[in-house]
Structure 1
C-alpha cells in the first residue's frame, strides 16, 4: 500500500473576524470548506475548554482536521491531516484563513507515510554519561568527608 499523507499545521495570528466566539458559524464554515474541497466529513465534535478556548475535531474519511480557537487572543491553531495522493490541505486552509482573516499566518507542511526511506532511517542512540560522573564525584566527596572525620 502506498500512502502519501500530508499534514499541514497553520497558526493564525491576530484574527480580524469578530465572530471567533460564534462556534456554530465556525462549524458551518468548516463543513462548507471541507465539502467544497472534496473532503468527506464523518463526524465533528466541539468542546469548550475554557471561556475563551474551543477545540474542534473533525474526523474525515481521508484523515482529520482540528482547530483550537482562542477568542481572547484572536488566535487559531489548525491541523489538517489528509491521507490521499491528491490531497490538498492548502485549499482547506485557504478557505478557513479567509473566514478568520488573520494578520499573520505560519504554515508548516509535513509529508507523512514515506515508506521508501524506511530502510535508510537509523535509530538514534544517545548516551548521557554526566550523571555517572556526578555519582562518582559525589562518592569521592563522601569518602573524603568520612576520612577527614576519622582523622580528627
Structure 2
C-alpha cells in the first residue's frame, strides 16, 4: 500500500535545561533538524512560556516539525511529519536528540494517508462507474 507521509512521534529525555529553555536555541535546532532531513523550510512560530518551556512549529514544504519542551524535566515532545520520499523524519529526530544533548530518545513512526496502489484505485473507480 502506498502512503502520503511518515509521522514520527519522539519522546526525548535527559536533555539539557539551558537548551530546552532557550527559545532562540530551540528554534535554531528545529530549523537545522528540518534542513538536516532534507526539508525546505517555509515558516516558523515559537513561543516561550513563563517560568520555563518552549513550544514551536517549523512549517516545511513537506509538512511540519513541532515541539513542546519541559526544561525542568529535561524532556521534549517532538513530532516530525514529512510527505513524499525526499525527506527522512528520522534524520531530524536523531539530529534533535544530539543537539539537545539527550540521554535517551524513543519514537514510533506512523504512515499517514495510506491508500491502495493506483491500479486498485482505478479498479474501484471502474466498479463504481458500472
TM-score range, shorter chain: 0.7 to 0.9
Cα distance change on mapping 1:79 and 1:57 into 2, 3 Å: same
Query: TM-score normalised to the size of structure 1?
Result: 0.69
Displaced runs of 4 or more, over 6 A: none
Match of 2:109 in 1: 109
Partner-residue secondary structure (3-state), 1:19: helix
Match of 1:137 in 2: none
Match of 1:81 in 2: 81
Tell me how many residue pairs correspond in the alignment: 117
Q: Is it true that 1:44 corresponds to 2:48 in the alignment?
A: no
> Deviation per CA, 1:29-73, whole angstroms, max 9, x where unpaired?
222222232211111001124422211111111001101011111
Gaps of 5+ in 1: 120-152
Gaps of 5+ in 2: 122-130
Aligned CA RMSD, in angstroms, stands at: 2.0
Partner-residue secondary structure (3-state), 1:101: coil
- The whole-number CA distance in structure 1 between the counterparts of 2:14 and 2:80 is 20
Partner-residue secondary structure (3-state), 2:19: coil
Give how far 1:11 is off: 0.3
Structure with more of its chain in strand, by fraction:
2
Query: TM-score normalised to the size of structure 2?
Result: 0.80
